[in-house]
Amino acid sequence: MKIAITTAGNDLDAAIDTRFGRAPQFLIYHSKTGAFSIQENTQNLNAAQGAGIQSATTLAQAQVDCVITGNCGPKAYATLDAAGIKVYTCADATVGEAIDMLKRGDLKPAHEANVEGHWM
């Protein structure tokens, strides 16, 4: 399974970024191997609008199975949902802790956005 986690850091000890569309980058973790890579998201950091949709499209193209983020707006959620990507929200955790919570079943998939659009 490929898991994308919003973060500003470069490793599993980095904190989860609370923003989805405007997260500085995504750490993409491969659960079978434990390997991960960084997907930059700099094009969306200061986007006037559409950051969530574009970020969701980028992750769909990367063929991730799910996303762990602090918050996800309605347009980003709809785009992820249409691509079959599950969304999990998690706050106050490192990337590694969030992955462990997902593996244990402590995170439940969201069924809708948890913030309004243009949340920053």
Q: Which residues pair with 71 in a beta bridge?
A: none
The Cα 62–Cα 118 span in angstroms is 24
Is the pLDDT reported for residue 118 higher than 70? Answer: no
Supply the pLDDT for residue 56. Answer: 96
Q: State residue 55 phi and psi, 5-degree precision.
A: -65, -40
Beta-strand relationship, 86-89 and 66-69: parallel
Confidence of residue 120 (pLDDT cuts 50, 70, 90): very low
User: Dihedral sign, CA of 93, 96, 102, 103?
Assistant: negative
Mean per-residue pLDDT over the chain, rounded = 92
Give the pLDDT confidence of 19-51 residue by residue, as tens digits: 999 999 999 999 999 999 999 998 777 776 778
Higher pLDDT, 117 or 66: 66
Q: Where are the domains of the chain?
A: 2-104
Q: Which fold has domain 2-104?
A: Nucleotidyltransferase; domain 5 (3.30.420)
Six-digit token string for 65: 């199975």
Backbone angle region of 33, left / alpha / beta, with phi > 0 → left and psi within -120 to 50 → alpha: alpha
Q: What is the pLDDT of residues 47-59, one digit of tens each?
A: 767 788 999 999 9
pTM assigned to the model:
0.93
Q: What's the pLDDT tens digit per position in 89-99?
A: 998 899 999 99
pLDDT score, position 42: 82
The three-state secondary structure class of 42 is helix
